C-alpha cells in the first residue's frame, strides 16, 4: 500500500514538473517572473517540485491576491430568485431579491449598500437567519464567497488532496479537494479549488462552509475569477443554489438560485492628477469657426441640456454604474439611427447610447443619450426587441421629454456613490410614458423592424407571465418600469395585441432569454462586450429559462492572450474537461 501511494505521488509530481516546463517556455522563465498590480510585487521562485512546495505556493498566491486587493472597493451585485417546481417549465422563479453594494476589501471586509435598508439587510456574515420562522437573505453572505478563507487559508487549518488536471477554457488547471482539519474552527471552506498551472493562482472555488451554525445557513457556492490584471485572478462571479426537487425529497426550507457579480475594482485607483503633466498648451490656437458669437437662447438651452447630460454620464460612470463608452454603444446607436433615418427625423444633436451595468430591467434617457441596463440586454432575444426598447426612449427624446436639466449644476453631482439612487432619477409621468409609447409605435411602423415585431410582443407577454415572481428584476432604480405596481405591463402594451399566443411547449418560440447570455463585463475596468456564443439546440420547454438565473461558466483565458477564433471550435471550452492522460 505504501508503494502504491508513492507511485501516485510520483505521477503527480511528474505532472507538475511538465506543467512547469510548459510555463518556462514562455517569454521569461517562471523563476524570473514578477507580478505587479496595485503596488504589490510578488516574485515567483520557480516551479514547485514537491507537493508541499506546490501547496505552499497556492497559499502564498492566495494571500498575495488579498494583499493586492486591499483597499479596493468593488461593486457587488446579487440577484436571487426563490424557486418552485413548475410542471411545464421546470424549476422556475416564484419571488426574487436584489442587493447592490460597495465592498471594502480592507483588513476587515465591509459593505455599504446602494439600496434602502429593510428587514432583510441586517448584519450577518454568511447566509440568512430565521426570525419568527421567516427566512431572510443577507447580501454580505454572498459577498463573502469570493475567498475560501480570508483569515486562515493555510496547511494548519486545511488538508489539500490533488485530484487531476482539467481545462477551464484555455487554461489548464490542477484540481484539489480542500477540507478543514478536525477542530479547526467554524465557517471553514470545504470543496474543490482549481489552480492554474503557471503562477498557481486559484481560478475557481466550488463548495460550502462547515459546520453549519444552528441559526444560519452556509450556502453552496461556485466562485470564478478572471485574469484581468497581470499575475492575478480577481473574483468576478459567484453562483449559489439551494433546494432539492427530486422525487421523494423533503420539503425545501430554502430553495433559490443566485448570481453575484463584482466589478469596478479599478474605480478610484487611477491618479488623474498625472493627466496634468500630459497637457500641452498652445497659445497660437484660435477659434476660426463661424459660430464665434454668443449662443442664441435656443442654442443656450440645448447647450445647458448637453452639459447636464454629460454631468450625469460622468457621475454614473464614476459611481461604477455605467460602462465606459464602447462597441456595444455603437450597436445600440445603429438601431436608433435606423429608426430615425427611416422616419426622416432630424435631431439637433446625435443620439448616443450607453450601458448601465446592473441587472434590473430598465431604461432611461437623459438629454440625447439612451441608457439600457445590462440585464435587459441579456434577456432580449433579437434585434426587433431591442428596437422596441430603443424606440420608447427615442420617443421621449423626439418629444422633448427632458428630465435631466437640473443636473447642469455641478453641485448636484456631489454625493457618495452609494447615494446615487437617492440623488438621481429620470422617470416620467404616466402621460409622458403613453406619449412616448405612441411615438415609438409610429417610429417602428415605418422602420425595417416593422415585419418582425411579433417577437417584441411575445417578449412582453413572457414578461407578463413571469412578472409576479420578478418584482425585484422589474423594479427600476433610475428610470421607468415595464410594469405598474400590480405587475401589469404598461410599456408598449399595444404590441401584445398583434403578436401570437405565448406557447411554452413550442420549442421554436423563444420569447425571452436567461440572464447573463449577452454581455460580458470586465470586472477590473468595467468595459463590456457582446458574448459570441454558438447557438444551442432547445430540447425541452425547460431549456428556455426566460429571465432565469443560471450558473456561470466563463471561458477562462490568460491576461493578454488573444483568442484564436479559428480554433475556438476545437479548443477546450468553459466546461471542465478531464485531461484523459492524467499527470505525465
pLDDT of amino acid 335: 98
Average pLDDT of the chain is 83
Same-domain check for residues 193 and 44: yes
Give the Å distances, CA to CA, from 450 to 42, 338, 381, 462, 495: 58, 12, 16, 20, 11
- The stretches of 184-234 forming alpha helices (DSSP H) are none
Last residue of a domain, one of 512, 528, 562: 512
Q: Comparing 35 with 106, which gets the higher pLDDT?
A: 106
pLDDT above 70: residue 467: yes
pLDDT of amino acid 283: 59
Residue 547 lies inside a defined structural domain of this protein? no
pLDDT of amino acid 576: 41
Query: For the CA atoms of 449, 454, 460, 461, what is the dihedral angle to 10 degrees?
Result: 180
Give Cβ neighbours of residue 111 (< 8 Å, ≥ 6 apart). 76, 101, 102, 103, 104, 139, 140, 143
pLDDT of amino acid 140: 56
Residue 214 lies inside a defined structural domain of this protein? yes
Same-domain check for residues 176 and 27: yes
Provide the 3-class DSSP secondary structure of residue 168: strand
Same-domain check for residues 309 and 352: yes
* Peptide linkage before 174 cis (omega within 30 of 0): no
Q: Which of 240, 276, 364 is nearest to 313 (CA)?
A: 364
| pLDDT tens figures, 480-520 | 889 877 778 889 999 999 999 999 999 999 999 999 989 99
pLDDT above 90: residue 98: yes
pLDDT of amino acid 132: 32
pLDDT of amino acid 136: 57
Last residue of a domain, one of 459, 483, 512: 512
In the DSSP assignment, the letter for residue 253 is S
Q: Find the helix or strand (DSSP H, E) in which 464 lies.
A: helix 454-466
| pLDDT tens figures, 40-87 | 444 455 788 899 999 999 999 999 999 999 989 999 999 999 999 988
Number of independent structural domains in the chain:
2
Same-domain check for residues 11 and 57: yes
- 218, three cell numbers: 452556509
| pLDDT tens figures, 515-569 | 998 999 999 999 999 988 788 899 999 999 999 999 999 999 999 884 444 334 3
CA–CA dist 501, 498 (Å, integer): 9
pLDDT of amino acid 403: 72
Which residue segment(s) compose the domain that 37 sits in?
A: 2-78+82-268+553-578
Same-domain check for residues 432 and 563: no
Same-domain check for residues 97 and 150: yes
Residue 480 lies inside a defined structural domain of this protein? yes
pLDDT of amino acid 46: 75
| pLDDT tens figures, 71-82 | 899 999 999 999
CA–CA dist 48, 56 (Å, integer): 9
pTM: 0.84
Same-domain check for residues 193 and 316: no
Same-domain check for residues 236 and 354: no
pLDDT of amino acid 129: 32
Residue 530 lies inside a defined structural domain of this protein? no
pLDDT above 90: residue 459: yes
Amino acid at each position: 500500500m505504501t508503494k502504491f501511494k508513492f507511485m501516485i505521488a510520483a505521477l503527480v509530481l511528474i505532472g507538475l514538473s511538465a506543467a512547469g516546463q510548459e510555463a518556462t517556455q514562455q517569454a521569461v522563465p517562471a523563476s524570473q517572473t514578477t507580478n505587479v498590480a496595485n503596488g504589490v510585487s510578488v516574485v515567483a521562485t520557480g516551479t514547485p517540485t514537491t507537493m508541499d512546495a506546490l501547496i505552499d505556493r497556492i497559499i502564498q498566491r492566495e494571500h498575495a491576491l488579498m494583499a493586492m486587493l486591499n483597499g479596493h472597493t468593488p461593486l457587488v451585485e446579487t440577484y436571487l430568485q426563490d424557486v418552485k417546481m413548475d410542471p411545464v417549465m421546470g424549476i422556475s422563479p416564484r419571488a426574487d431579491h436584489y442587493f447592490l453594494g460597495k465592498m471594502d476589501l480592507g483588513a476587515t471586509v465591509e459593505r455599504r449598500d446602494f439600496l434602502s435598508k429593510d428587514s432583510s439587510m441586517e448584519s450577518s456574515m454568511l447566509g440568512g437567519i430565521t426570525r419568527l420562522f421567516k427566512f431572510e437573505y443577507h447580501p454580505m453572505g454572498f459577498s463573502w464567497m469570493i475567498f475560501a478563507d480570508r483569515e486562515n487559508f493555510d496547511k494548519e487549518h486545511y488538508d489539500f488532496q490533488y485530484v487531476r488536471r482539467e481545462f477551464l477554457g484555455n487554461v489548464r488547471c490542477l484540481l484539489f479537494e480542500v477540507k478543514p482539519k478536525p477542530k479547526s474552527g467554524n465557517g471553514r471552506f470545504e470543496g474543490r479549488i482549481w489552480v492554474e498551472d503557471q503562477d498557481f493562482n486559484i481560478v475557481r472555488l466550488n463548495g460550502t462552509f462547515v459546520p453549519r451554525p444552528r441559526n444560519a445557513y452556509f450556502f453552496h457556492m461556485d466562485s470564478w475569477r478572471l485574469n484581468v490584471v497581470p499575475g492575478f485572478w480577481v473574483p468576478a462571479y459567484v453562483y449559489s443554489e439551494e433546494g432539492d426537487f427530486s422525487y421523494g425529497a423533503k420539503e425545501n426550507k430554502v430553495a433559490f438560485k443566485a448570481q453575484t457579480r463584482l466589478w469596478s475594482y479599478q474605480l478610484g485607483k487611477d491618479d488623474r492628477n498625472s493627466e496634468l503633466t500630459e497637457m500641452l498648451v498652445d497659445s497660437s490656437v484660435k477659434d476660426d469657426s463661424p459660430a464665434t458669437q454668443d449662443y442664441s437662447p435656443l442654442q443656450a438651452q440645448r447647450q445647458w441640456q448637453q452639459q447636464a447630460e454629460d454631468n450625469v454620464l460622468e457621475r454614473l460612470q464614476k459611481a461604477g454604474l455605467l460602462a465606459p463608452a464602447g462597441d456595444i454603444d455603437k450597436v445600440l446607436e445603429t438601431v436608433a439611427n435606423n429608426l430615425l433615418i427611416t422616419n426622416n427625423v432630424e435631431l439637433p444633436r446625435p443620439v448616443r447610447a450607453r450601458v448601465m451595468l446592473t441587472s434590473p430591467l430598465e431604461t432611461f434617457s437623459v438629454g440625447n443619450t439612451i441608457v439600457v441596463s445590462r440585464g435587459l440586454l441579456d434577456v432580449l432575444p433579437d434585434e426587433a426587441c431591442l428596437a422596441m426598447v430603443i424606440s420608447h426612449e427615442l420617443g421621449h427624446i423626439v418629444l422633448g421629454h427632458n428630465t435631466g436639466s437640473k443636473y447642469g449644476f455641478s453641485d448636484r453631482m456631489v454625493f457618495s456613490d452609494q447615494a446615487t439612487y437617492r440623488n438621481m432619477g429620470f422617470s416620467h409621468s404616466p402621460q409622458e410614458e403613453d406619449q412616448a409609447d405612441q411615438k415609438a409605435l409610429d417610429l417602428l411602423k415605418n422602420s425595417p423592424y416593422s415585419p418582425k415585431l411579433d417577437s417584441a410582443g411575445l417578449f412582453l407577454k413572457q414578461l407578463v407571465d413571469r412578472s409576479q415572481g420578478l418584482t425585484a428584476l422589474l423594479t427600476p432604480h433610475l428610470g421607468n418600469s415595464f410594469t405598474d405596481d400590480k405587475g401589469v405591463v404598461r410599456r408598449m402594451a399595444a404590441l401584445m395585441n398583434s403578436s401570437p399566443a405565448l406557447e411554452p411547449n413550442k420549442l421554436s418560440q423563444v420569447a425571452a432569454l436567461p440572464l447573463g447570455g449577452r454581455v460580458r463585463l470586465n470586472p477590473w475596468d468595467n468595459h463590456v462586450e457582446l458574448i459570441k456564443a454558438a447557438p444551442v439546440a432547445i430540447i425541452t420547454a425547460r431549456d428556455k429559462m426566460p429571465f432565469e438565473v443560471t450558473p456561470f461558466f466563463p471561458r477562462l483565458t490568460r491576461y493578454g492572450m488573444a483568442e484564436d477564433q479559428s480554433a475556438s471550435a476545437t479548443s477546450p471550452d468553459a466546461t471542465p474537461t478531464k485531461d484523459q492522460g492524467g499527470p505525465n
